[in-house]
Amino acid sequence: MKFNFLFFRFVIILFDISFLSFALTQNCIDIPNPLNKTNRIIRPCHIGKPSNLKSKSKRDENDMCKVDFTCNISDGNLCEKAQKSLYDACQNISSILILKKQITISATFLADSSNYLGATTPSRFYLLRSKDGIVRAYPQALAKQFQLELNDTLSYDIEMIFNPSYEFWFNGDEPISALQYNFFTISLHEIFHGLGFMSFFDNSFAVNYGLSSESISPLPELTSVSGGELFEGFIETIFDRFVYILADSSEPENTKINSFTNITAEFNKFGPPPKNYSNEIEFLKNLSDSPQWKNLTPYLYKKATLQDSIIFVPFNEDVSNGTFLETGIAYNPGSTISHVSSNKYEDTSDFLMVYQTNPGISTESLINEFGDLISPRLKTIMHSIGFLTKDNPIMNEPEPENPESSPSPSPSPSPSSSSTTTNSVTYKNSSTKIYLDTWKLWKFALMILIVYLQTDYFGNFKLIICNE
Ligand SMILES: *[C@@H]1O[C@H](CO)[C@@H](O)[C@H](O)[C@H]1NC(C)=O
Ligand SMILES: *[C@@H]1O[C@H](CO)[C@@H](O)[C@H](O)[C@H]1NC(C)=O
Ligand SMILES: *[C@@H]1O[C@H](CO)[C@@H](O)[C@H](O)[C@H]1NC(C)=O
Ligand SMILES: *[C@@H]1O[C@H](CO)[C@@H](O)[C@H](O)[C@H]1NC(C)=O
Ligand SMILES: *[C@@H]1O[C@H](CO)[C@@H](O)[C@H](O)[C@H]1NC(C)=O
Ligand SMILES: *[C@@H]1O[C@H](CO)[C@@H](O)[C@H](O)[C@H]1NC(C)=O
Ligand SMILES: *[C@@H]1O[C@H](CO)[C@@H](O)[C@H](O)[C@H]1NC(C)=O
Ligand SMILES: *[C@@H]1O[C@H](CO)[C@@H](O)[C@H](O)[C@H]1NC(C)=O
Ligand SMILES: *[C@@H]1O[C@H](CO)[C@@H](O)[C@H](O)[C@H]1NC(C)=O
């Protein structure tokens, strides 16, 4: 620990990025219940030395997915179809990725009167040090693909729940009715969340601990130790590494693009970690009184509820190539930020990761419309977080490491236009144009379909696809 601490001071001087290495112990973050992603359990996890032996065991391209569907509803036929559909969706995704280890999914039906169709979480995140020196949360399905010895993985990478209160349609069924939801596209959507399309920036910590629900933060790593609570820093996910905050009209003209990683570093000026508190109450009091909490959480809440203000920019790409995340709806921790903007993409080939879906849309009609269900943009996002894809089989940078190994930071990647002095005004109208053009095109293309649905059925067509 002493060594780490010294090193960490040294790094600050060199790179002027605060608190590069605060996660000193090997921890995992488990999220056992997809319907309650605020329930996050931090526990010790053992990560061994990187295994040099490249396991030469032949991997079977047709066996990269395992789906166990626990079926306790009476309609056995429905269960079988759901299992098959989920498996097909997983195979479909695994065929565009290059996987070394099988993806394992546990799914179940849980009838619920609330308006979700499906909900998903990675079962576990491992805290690993990315090549920029910062420790981040990597979902198990991704962490498994690296040359790390994770000898206590959970048997399922991904936990899912589907809600049989709504009528699902499966590939190969009779033509889809205007009330049926396409289980195949919902499965694809949910699997991408399970693979790591997920931010830790939300209000769940605040809500769980009775702070204002309009407080968004990354996840504080707080664990019980003898005689108190050890705070080891705020943690973001590997997805968050590529998320940027754009200036809005209320800010000065020269406001630069900010990044979630910078915000996490700003939060970590609180403490600073590692720091022991005598109990949770002291931690909460000191945190909520801190300038970091008071300034940053409302700033993030404002951005999270302002259209077109948060964007995912793939590794080393220009902001104009980024994908806007959902910030245009009433704040919902399961929908906001961890989805693409519905305003921009719901009627485009990037529709898959918007937070809600229309019924009555068959897989075939989507393929006719868009070609592929998994868009190039989505593939780039998955590649940025660390998956190899058939389109891009080379890692952007060396794999992340065990956080207990020495940090070897390299300059953190930032979108190319943020390294120049481009101000946000110039940026905003150029990119808006790009997206508006695409958007209009598709909006027009799908209009007929939507109008048709609305004349046949009144009421709620749109339901939230997922709580995460
Ligand atoms: C979700 O988990 C949190 C933390 O364990 C708990 O306080 C809360 O009651 C749970 N919420 C639901 C709806 O189960
Ligand atoms: C199905 O199983 C889950 C998990 O065991 C349980 O929570 C749920 O209540 C069960 N649902 C039904 C309809 O039996
Ligand atoms: C994915 O599924 C769709 C629909 O079943 C199919 O047309 C497509 O060929 C599949 N793609 C891959 C790569 O398996
Ligand atoms: C697994 O973890 C334990 C410590 O929890 C460690 O002693 C062991 O060497 C690790 N590796 C294997 C292959 O068990
Ligand atoms: C980091 O975030 C803080 C708080 O929003 C901001 O004042 C600062 O300018 C940001 N720094 C960079 C380099 O973006
Ligand atoms: C926090 O407390 C634990 C248990 O008492 C101790 O082992 C650890 O060194 C302390 N850490 C810091 C940073 O003070
Ligand atoms: C919490 O805040 C109080 C009051 O400012 C301060 O005395 C105490 O040292 C702080 N606790 C820690 C662990 O920093
Ligand atoms: C933006 O994306 C286009 C198309 O994929 C690519 O040709 C171009 O190099 C990208 N620009 C930057 C700066 O990343
Ligand atoms: C972008 O916005 C600026 C300032 O509002 C305006 O002067 C400029 O003409 C706009 N450029 C385009 C391409 O719309």
Q: Which amino acid residue places its CA nearest to atom 10 of ligand 3? A: 92
The whole-number average pLDDT for the span 169-174 is 95
Measured between alpha carbons, how far is 307 from 345 in angstroms, rounded to an integer?
Answer: 13
Give residue 44's pLDDT.
85
Q: In 296-426, at which residue ranges do the beta strands (DSSP E only) sit?
A: 310-312, 323-324, 356-357, 388-389
With a 6 A CB cut-off, is 255 part of the ligand 5 pocket?
no
Residues of the chain above pLDDT 90, percent: 61
Chosen domain end from 409, 428, 453 = 409
Q: 33: helix, coil or strand?
A: coil
Give residue 422's pLDDT.
23
* Ligand 3 atom nearest 171 alpha carbon: 5
Give residue 6's pLDDT.
30
Q: How many helices (H) and strands (E) does the chain have?
A: 13, 23
Separation of CA 408 from chain center: 25
**26 and 172 share one domain:** yes
Cα-to-centroid distance, 130 and ligand 7 (Å): 31
Q: Which amino acid residue places its CA nearest to atom 7 of ligand 1? A: 208
The whole-number average pLDDT for the span 301-328 is 96
**274 and 391 share one domain:** no
Cα-to-centroid distance, 421 and ligand 8 (Å): 19
**116 and 208 share one domain:** no
- The per-residue pLDDT for range 268-281, each reduced to its tens digit, is 999 999 999 999 99
Q: Is residue 452 part of a domain?
A: no
Please provide the average confidence, as pLDDT, over all residues in the chain: 81
**372 and 439 share one domain:** no
Please tell me the number of the ligand nearest to residue 274's CA: 6
Pairing of strands 103-109, 65-70: parallel
Question: The whole model's pTM is what?
Answer: 0.82
Q: Which residue has the tokens 């079926």?
A: 71
**159 and 10 share one domain:** yes
**151 and 29 share one domain:** yes
Measured between alpha carbons, how far is 253 from 217 in angstroms, rounded to an integer?
Answer: 25
**Of residues 423 and 340, which shows the higher confidence score?**
340
Q: Is residue 328 part of a domain?
A: no
Measured between alpha carbons, how far is 40 from 205 in angstroms, rounded to an integer?
Answer: 9
Cα-to-centroid distance, 285 and ligand 7 (Å): 9
**Of residues 413 and 104, which shows the higher confidence score?**
104
With a 6 A CB cut-off, is 436 part of the ligand 9 pocket?
no
- The per-residue pLDDT for range 25-75, each reduced to its tens digit, is 678 999 888 888 778 888 888 887 665 545 555 567 778 999 999 887 888
**97 and 44 share one domain:** yes
With a 6 A CB cut-off, is 274 part of the ligand 7 pocket?
no
Over its C-alpha atoms, the chain yields an Rg (Å, rounded) of: 22
Measured between alpha carbons, how far is 321 from 352 in angstroms, rounded to an integer?
Answer: 18
Q: Which residue has the tokens 């020269």?
A: 254
Torsion from C-alpha of 37, 335, 122, 192, nearest 10 degrees = 170
Q: Is residue 345 part of a domain?
A: no
Q: Is residue 449 part of a domain?
A: no
Please tell me the number of the ligand nearest to residue 384's CA: 8
Give residue 289's pLDDT.
97
Q: Ligand 4 pocket: which residues have CB below 6 Å?
A: 46, 48, 149, 151
Backbone angles phi, psi at 227, to 5 degrees: 80, 20
Q: Is residue 436 part of a domain?
A: yes
Whole domain around residue 277: which residue ranges?
Answer: 204-311+417-444
**305 and 435 share one domain:** yes
Q: Is residue 457 part of a domain?
A: no
Measured between alpha carbons, how far is 362 from 342 in angstroms, rounded to an integer?
Answer: 19
- The per-residue pLDDT for range 123-140, each reduced to its tens digit, is 999 999 999 999 999 999
Give residue 149's pLDDT.
85
Q: Is residue 279 part of a domain?
A: yes
- 235 neighbors 273 (Cβ within 8 angstroms): no
* Ligand 7 atom nearest 271 alpha carbon: 14
Measured between alpha carbons, how far is 386 from 138 in angstroms, rounded to an integer?
Answer: 9
In the chain, the number of structural domains is 2
**217 and 187 share one domain:** no
For the cut 60, the answer to whether the pLDDT of residue 437 exceeds it is no
**140 and 187 share one domain:** yes
Cis (ω within 30 of 0) for the bond into 274? yes
- The per-residue pLDDT for range 149-158, each reduced to its tens digit, is 887 899 999 9
**393 and 424 share one domain:** no
Give residue 52's pLDDT.
55
Cα-to-centroid distance, 416 and ligand 8 (Å): 11
Q: Ligand 2 pocket: which residues have CB below 6 Å?
A: 72-73, 108, 110-111
- 180 neighbors 169 (Cβ within 8 angstroms): yes
Q: Which amino acid residue places its CA nearest to atom 3 of ligand 7? A: 286
Alpha helices in 308-457 (DSSP H): 342-345, 363-370, 376-385, 416-419, 424-456
**126 and 266 share one domain:** no
Q: Which residue has the tokens 């204002």?
A: 212
Q: Is residue 59 part of a domain?
A: yes
